[in-house]
Amino acid sequence: MKRLFLIYISFTIILFHLSGINSTQAQSKINQNEIEKKMKWFEDAKLGIFIHWGIYAVKGVGESWSFHNKQISYDDYLKMLDGFTAKNYDPSKWADLIRQSGARYCVITSKHHDGVALWDTRLSDLSIPARTPAKRDVLSPFVDALRKDNLKVGLYFSLLDWSHPDYPEFLKDQKKYDKSKDPQRWAKYLIFCHGQINELSEKFNPDLFWFDGDWEHSVEEWQAADIRKGILEHNPAAIINGRLMGYGDYETPEQNFPVSRPSFRWWELCMTMNDSWGYYPTYLNYKTPYEIITIFADVISNGGNLLLDIGPREDGTIDEKQVNILQELGKWTKKHEEAIFGTLAGLPSGHFYGPSTISKDSSIIYLFVPGKISGDIMIKGLDTKIKEVNVIGNDHSLNYKIVGKISWSSIPGLVFITVPENQQDEYMTVVRVKLENKLKLYRGKGGL
Ligand code: GLC
């Protein structure tokens, strides 16, 4: 009897465990499906524009870091509040320029590490509307303009706030207080920080939250899980970037690009045009349109997005050099739209020496050919018959030749494609390789 009872108990325990595992597995599957669903637009968007706009544009100094690292005193930094006018600010012009670049979304600094909010936050008076001659919420009209232009809205928000009296860190070698000795004060800061995030959710309902500055505190200290929960309760479709101590949806490598294809499911490279995020007129080390297009092609070839930054002036105008880059980029993205948006990451390394993308139905390979070339380009291991090859923007078929195919072997030959000079793009040519069937690749070691 006792034995029977034991067997019964163990059986129930096993059943209990099994049902537990199944329900957690099912739960995480639902979450994963939801994440996949909400990431759809992001995955197809490929290009976003980042905007760093704040009082640092008044003197053209480093955003927030200039006082933190003591290149300028905190008082002098804050004096820039008096010079922020936004007097020539035309939000719809900004949105149009972004649209023109080909970008599908924009991320703007609602508040940087300096704590100066662009909107009329109820939780602090350190804001553009309350403390500058601009005297108005400059974020709302831009969010509206983006939506009017059918662009997704991303809000950058710095978790850390070096200006807030209850935030412990301040200058690089100076703290306001020791958090371990005064947990109440940190708790007060958290209420403020979560409160501002909540305001952003309610007022703007952004498609994407772009957090920054999580590094100064731990996941528990930020209560990162609660931040995520709060955002998703308000809008289950909101995307959260990866700078939330593991509670985000995608990775954000910064400035430096991954050399080989990252293993992350979703990622976005954020990058400046010169050497600064904000307006910094003496930094003239601009990347050329050619360099930016090359980097962009490399990013999408590896399954990522590019978030390219601009830093407007305090009056709301944008430097001609930045405008020019966005326009040149726009010319190129418009012409090559079908090879960029809504495509998949390209051929794995080894098949083609350059960036590429693949159409979602796997029937077209797009090969990105940088600059002006005189020789042929080559594809290795293409195990699907080619229907036609041409250059985007020109419908003439291109000549190609299959080399080294042995009639009785199943190993595909090498494809050599000639791209005539008169069909090449000024920046980067895209060769469209249409296939008879779905793409199949030979990944073997060669031989017979
Ligand atoms: C870094 C910097 C910040 C900048 C951000 C953009 O985290 O602290 O100044 O806004 O990168 O990715």
268 Cβ below 6 A of ligand 1? no
**2-335 to CATH, choices 3.90.79.10, 3.20.20.80, 3.40.50.920, 3.30.70.60:** 3.20.20.80
DSSP characters over 103-166: -SEEEEEEE-TT--BSS--SS-S-BHHHHSTT-S-SHHHHHHHHHHTT-EEEEEEES--TTSTT
Which superfamily does CATH assign the domain made up of 345-435 to?
Golgi alpha-mannosidase II (2.60.40.1180)
108 Cβ below 6 A of ligand 1? no
Atom of ligand 1 nearest to the CA of 156: 10
Tens of pLDDT, residues 85-124? 999 999 999 999 999 999 999 999 999 999 999 999 999 9
CA–CA distance, 201 with 238 (Å, rounded to integer): 9
Residue 226 has pLDDT above 50, yes or no: yes
Please report the pLDDT score of residue 17 as a whole number.
Answer: 41
As a whole number, mean pLDDT of residues 125-134 equals: 98
Atom of ligand 1 nearest to the CA of 109: 10
Mean pLDDT, the chain, whole residue set: 93
Tens of pLDDT, residues 419-432? 999 999 999 999 99
Least confident of 12-26, 69-83, 292-306: 12-26
Q: What is the token pair recorded at 376?
A: 């042929």
What does each C-alpha distance from 240 to 2, 188, 236, 254 come to in angstroms?
55, 24, 11, 16
Please report the pLDDT score of residue 27 as a whole number.
Answer: 57
Count of C-beta atoms within a 10 Å radius of residue 354: 18
254 Cβ below 6 A of ligand 1? yes
Residue 8 has pLDDT above 60, yes or no: no
In testing the pocket of ligand 1, which one of 67, 162, 212 has its CB within 8 Å of the most ligand atoms?
212
What does each C-alpha distance from 367 to 398, 399, 430 come to in angstroms?
13, 15, 5
Parts of the chain belonging to CATH 3.20.20.80: 2-335
- 212 CA from centroid of ligand 1 (Å): 7
Residue that is written with structure tokens 């544009």 in the block: 57
Please report the pLDDT score of residue 5 as a whole number.
Answer: 41
Count the residues in the chain. 448
Residue that is written with structure tokens 């007022």 in the block: 203
Please report the pLDDT score of residue 31 as a whole number.
Answer: 85
Tens of pLDDT, residues 260-313? 899 899 999 999 999 999 999 999 999 999 999 999 999 999 999 999 999 999
Parts of the chain belonging to CATH 2.60.40.1180: 345-435
As a whole number, mean pLDDT of residues 112-140 equals: 98
What is the H or E stretch that residue 378 is in? strand 377-379
Reported confidence tier of residue 10, pLDDT bands at 50, 70, 90 = very low
Q: What is the token pair recorded at 374?
A: 């005189």
- 283 CA from centroid of ligand 1 (Å): 17
What does each C-alpha distance from 65 to 112, 114, 339 come to in angstroms?
10, 8, 39
